[in-house]
Structure 1
Amino acid sequence: MHPMLNIAVRAARNAGNVIAKSFSQPENVEVMQKGANDFVTNVDKEAEAVIISTLKKAYPDHCILGEESGQLSAENSDYQWIIDPLDGTTNFAKGVPHFSVSIALRYRGKTEQAVIYDPIRDELFTASRGAGAQLNGYRIRTGQARELSGTLLATGFPFRQKAHMDAYMNIFHSLFTECSDIRRAGSAALDLAYVAAGRYDGFWEIGLKPWDSAAGELIAREAGAIVTDFVGGHNFEKSGNLVVGNPRIVKALLGKMREHLTDSLKR
């Protein structure tokens, strides 16, 4: 395992221990609203502090971008850690056991290392650029579906951007009539990891943040998936609009989505 990935795994497991312990003690969880339909708990903040402490101890000169703490700059650093301490906060706060820790490392703008950890199932998804993706140390590959018929897709509702709801529902209807079924489980990081592991055949979502998707993008790509924006381009890091799956499934998804895209979703 790459030394920097090893540190990321240590940070993710440390945060996972905090989250799992708190999940078993719901009376100690404090939920706060930080934006429209956007919540944070004291556990998000505690887990992020544990991650930052672990990373800073090993790499004090690296830059960190955290969902809760924002940008922690380091002068002239080519390295940036992107962390989501608890992806699936609403699930966690409601007692739904489906959430994850997501940590990615970028070097000069390219994601090089990635970890997604599910502390409830003790499933650790990892990837290093050019070295493939793994689940608990075993190589994983994305599914081999050749068409939408029979596929299981995953998505996330645009709960932060409800102005896109009509377009989203049109896309949903178009895809639902073609595939076997669609899941909306509440953790984009795990959705991407599940595409990498072949559990889901494809995934799409509107308006994800870097901490939602940075680790999952690399893990999915290293497992053989394609990651694009809604028009098949590479603007997803700016727009947050992702389509993920094997090459045939991504082509099919984009084809079905195309007629329902508004101008803002094409950017």
Structure 2
Amino acid sequence: MSDLDLQADLKLALDVADVADAFTLPHFVDRDFTVDWKTNQTEVTEIDRQTETLIVNSLVAQRPDHGTFGEEHGLGGNETSLWRWVIDPIDGTSGFVRGIPVWASLIALTHDDIPVLGVVSAPALGFRWWGGVGLGAHVSVRGAERSISVSSVTALGDSQVCVTHNAGWDRLGLTERLVSLQQQARRSRGLGDFWQHMLVAEGAMDVAVDAVGVAPYDLAAIQPIVEAAGGTFTDRHGEATHLHDTAISSNGHMHDKVIALLS
């Protein structure tokens, strides 16, 4: 993987993120959409569906040999290709529909189910993050770009952690352990979705524990950015994958301790 040249794919992903942002942000501001409910009791809007169509069409036009997989429309493009774009058109739809600006379009490129490139664009926040194999990790804040890296905090008692609790942690019987993690940290927050992991990549947070029940399209763009920033990204058992239903990112120093607590 270290020999991959992903610069052209990164440019494409950033260009497509521009297209997505230009569509999603005005609808968020104008509140001109309706809300439906999926069978899993999560919100969806026509903006989610239309944004995914825009992203997929833009990617397939430039990479006709690649496959795509999105939250709203599933598989597309060349379904047999080892190269696949994984898309969450609006990560944080529950915030989007309530006027909370913590939402983003997630665009990842995977090869044989391994994420190699990710773009996370949050236009309502004015932030965009990207990174991947051989690309480093970067953030753009209202047009000002800089490289990012994880923190150097080594002790849980000195750390800032972000925990997203949901009923899935209750079903696993691990809620008390989540609380224990928060109590052991210097400070705990609950920011959720993509943002908690991007703050780990930036070095602002030291550990982020996601909700139980996340899907590949929630995580595929996150993993390569965190890893390119020098961090560690795994499921709650310590496996470095975006394909399972839990996700923990960290600066790496306390990762084993967090996994031991939550696995």
- With the length of structure 2 as denominator, give the TM-score of the two structures: 0.89
CA contact (8 A) 2:23 2:51 kept: yes
Runs of 5+ unmatched residues, structure 1: 259-267
CA contact (8 A) 1:99 1:186 kept: no
Q: Which residue of 1 aligns with 2:214?
A: 208
Alignment map for 1:74-153 (pairs within 5 Å): 74=78, 76-136=80-140, 137-153=145-161
Q: Which residue of 2 aligns with 1:11?
A: 16
Match of 2:183 among 149, 173, 177: 177
> Which segments of structure 1 move beyond 4 Å, counting only runs of 4 or more?
none
Runs of 5+ unmatched residues, structure 2: 1-5
CA contact (8 A) 1:129 1:222 kept: yes
* Worse-superposed segment, 236-245 or 194-203: 236-245
Separation of aligned partners in 2, 1:249 and 1:33: 38
> Percentage identity across aligned positions?
25
1:198–1:212 CA distance, 2 compared to 1 (3 A): same
CA contact (8 A) 1:2 1:128 kept: no
2:171 matches 1:164: yes
Q: CA deviation at 1:14?
A: 1.1
Separation of aligned partners in 2, 1:155 and 1:209: 17
Superposition RMSD on alpha carbons, in Å? Answer: 1.9
CA contact (8 A) 1:91 1:186 kept: no
What is the DSSP-based 3-state SS (H/G/I as helix, E as strand, rest coil) of the residue aligned with 1:65?
strand
Letter in 2 for 1:47: T
1:179–1:78 CA distance, 2 compared to 1 (3 A): same
CA contact (8 A) 2:129 2:137 kept: yes
2:203 matches 1:195: no
2:235 matches 1:229: yes
Kindly tell me the number of residue pairs found equivalent between the two proteins.
253
2:40 matches 1:36: yes
- With the length of structure 1 as denominator, give the TM-score of the two structures: 0.88
1:75–1:185 CA distance, 2 compared to 1 (3 A): closer
Q: CA deviation at 1:166?
A: 4.0
Letter in 2 for 1:32: D
Deviation track 1:17-51 (CA, whole Å, cap 9, x = no partner) reads 2111001111x111000123311011111211111
